[in-house]
């Protein structure tokens, strides 16, 4: 199954999509794709097959998001906690990632034509070398695409992300690139894996679990949280449209909140630190890609 799908929506789906597009469309939607193993049990297939069906649903869902005009999507594909699962299951998830990132290169032309940028957020050092290399190559290849952005949280937890952000800032204070007084919310956000993304407008979790599970804790302070009992491989366009409608109804209050948000206040020290930090990230990816 391809990353980029172009299935036509039926007439009723098209009509509803067009009606929702008249209102404020979320710019960024995040998904906790939960329930793959329960789906596997329910349908009498192996866990690996459940995760594979989960990937197919992700590809389908990305298509619905593009149809709706949602520019950015972030998905929780593998938590650092998932390394504690059985070796067989971790290996099956790694194999799925290997196959799908390889597939991504086979679809390179389509990806570039559609202007899709793929970013993997997480601690890439924890991944097998070959997957890290594939990820770095995919990120470098698509980094200048801007029409549609997919962030794949892979080997990710939010606490680890915040910890590494703080560590980078402490190192910069120690080497005197910045001063303690320069440390701000904005600077911490700039050192997160998600530094290039706006905060999600909506976070959707499937499978009936009403938890955040260490996903985007910093980024969801003002996000519409949506939960559904449906298992991820059974998620359909109507669930998504329902959540977008819910978001549109609560949007007015969010505008008041945003209007009151303090404006960032960067000085030249923090600006040059953030720029050099960004350069280092790209250099690190180039090293992984060459490995």
Residues forming contacts to ligand FPP in the complex (CB under 6 A) are: 33-38, 51, 54-55, 58, 77, 82, 96-97, 100, 152, 207
Q: What is the chain written as a DSSP string?
A: --SS--PPPPHHHHHHHHHHTTSPPPSEEEEE---HHHHHHHTT--HHHHHHHHHHHHHHHHHHHHHHT--EEEEEEEEGGGGGS-HHHHHHHHHHHHHHHHHHHHTHHHHHHTTEEEEEES-GGGS-HHHHHHHHHHHHHHTT--SEEEEEEEEE-HHHHHHHHHHHHHHHHHTTSS-GGG--HHHHHHTSTTTTSPPPSEEEE-TT----TTSSTTTTTTPEEEE-SS-GGG--HHHHHHHHHHHHHHHHHHHHHHHTSPPP---HHHHHHHHHHHHHHHHHHHHHHH-
To Mg ion, the closest distance from the beta carbon of 64 in angstroms equals: 22
Nearer to ligand FPP, 36 or 197 (CB): 36
Binding site partner of 96, from ligand FPP, Mg ion, none, Cβ cut-off 5-8 A by kind: ligand FPP
Residue whose C-alpha is closest to residue 60's, from 247, 234, 197: 234
CB of 97 to ligand FPP, least distance (A): 4
Q: Which does residue 55 bind out of ligand FPP, Mg ion, none, counting CB within 5 to 8 angstroms by kind? A: ligand FPP
Nearest residue to ligand FPP by CB is 54
56 vs 255, beta carbon nearer ligand FPP: 56
Judged by CB under 5 A, does residue 72 bind Mg ion? no
Window 12-71: residues binding Mg ion (CB under 5 A)? 34
> To the nearest whole angstrom, how small is the minimum distance from the Cβ of residue 26 to ligand FPP?
21
- Measured from the CB of residue 266, what is the shortest distance to Mg ion in angstroms? 40
Least spacing, CB of residue 34 vs Mg ion, in Å: 4
Q: Report the residue number whose CB is nearest to Mg ion.
A: 34
Q: Which is nearer to ligand FPP, 28 or 51 (CB)?
A: 51
Looking at the Cβ atoms of 54 and 200, the one nearer to ligand FPP is: 54
74 binds, among ligand FPP, Mg ion, none (CB under 5 to 8 A by kind): none
Q: Is 201 in the site for Mg ion (CB under 5 A)?
A: no
Nearest CA among 103, 99, 283, 265 for reference residue 190: 265
- Nearer to ligand FPP among residue 60 and residue 278 (C-beta): 60
Which residue number, 149 or 216, has a Cβ lying nearer to Mg ion? 216
Judging by beta carbons within 10 Å of its beta carbon (0-12, 13-18, 19+), is residue 154 exposed, middle or buried?
buried
| Residue 182 binds Mg ion, judged by CB under 5 A | no
The nearest distance, CB 268 to ligand FPP, in angstroms, is 39
Binding site for Mg ion (CB under 5 A): 34
């Amino acid at each position: 199954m391809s990353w980029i799908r172009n299935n036509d929506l039926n007439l009723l789906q098209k009509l509803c999509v067009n009606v929702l597009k008249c209102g404020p469309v979320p710019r960024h939607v995040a998904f906790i794709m939960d329930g793959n193993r329960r789906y596997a049990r329910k349908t009498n297939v192996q866990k690996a097959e459940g995760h594979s069906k989960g990937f197919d649903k992700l590809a389908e869902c990305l298509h619905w998001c593009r149809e709706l005009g949602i520019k950015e999507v972030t998905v929780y594909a593998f938590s650092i906690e998932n390394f504690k699962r059985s070796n067989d299951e971790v290996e099956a998830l790694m194999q799925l990632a290997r196959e799908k990132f390889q597939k991504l290169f086979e679809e390179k032309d389509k990806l570039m034509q559609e202007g899709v940028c793929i970013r993997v957020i997480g601690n890439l050092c924890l991944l097998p070398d070959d997957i890290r290399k594939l990820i770095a190559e995919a990120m470098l290849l698509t980094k200048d695409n801007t029409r549609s952005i997919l962030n794949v949280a892979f080997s990710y937890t939010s606490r680890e992300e915040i910890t590494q952000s703080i560590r980078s800032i402490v190192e910069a204070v120690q080497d005197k690139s910045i001063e303690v007084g320069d440390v701000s919310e904005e600077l911490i956000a700039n050192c997160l894996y998600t530094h290039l993304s706006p905060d999600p407008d909506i976070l959707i979790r499937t499978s009936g679990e009403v938890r955040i599970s260490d996903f985007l804790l910093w980024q969801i302070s003002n996000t519409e949280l949506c939960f559904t009992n449906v298992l991820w491989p059974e998620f359909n366009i109507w669930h998504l449209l329902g959540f977008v409608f819910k978001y549109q109804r609560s949007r007015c209050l969010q505008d008041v909140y945003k209007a009151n948000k303090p404006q960032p206040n960067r000085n030249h020290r923090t600006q040059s630190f953030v720029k050099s930090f960004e350069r280092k990230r790209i250099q690190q990816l180039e090293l992984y890609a060459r490995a």
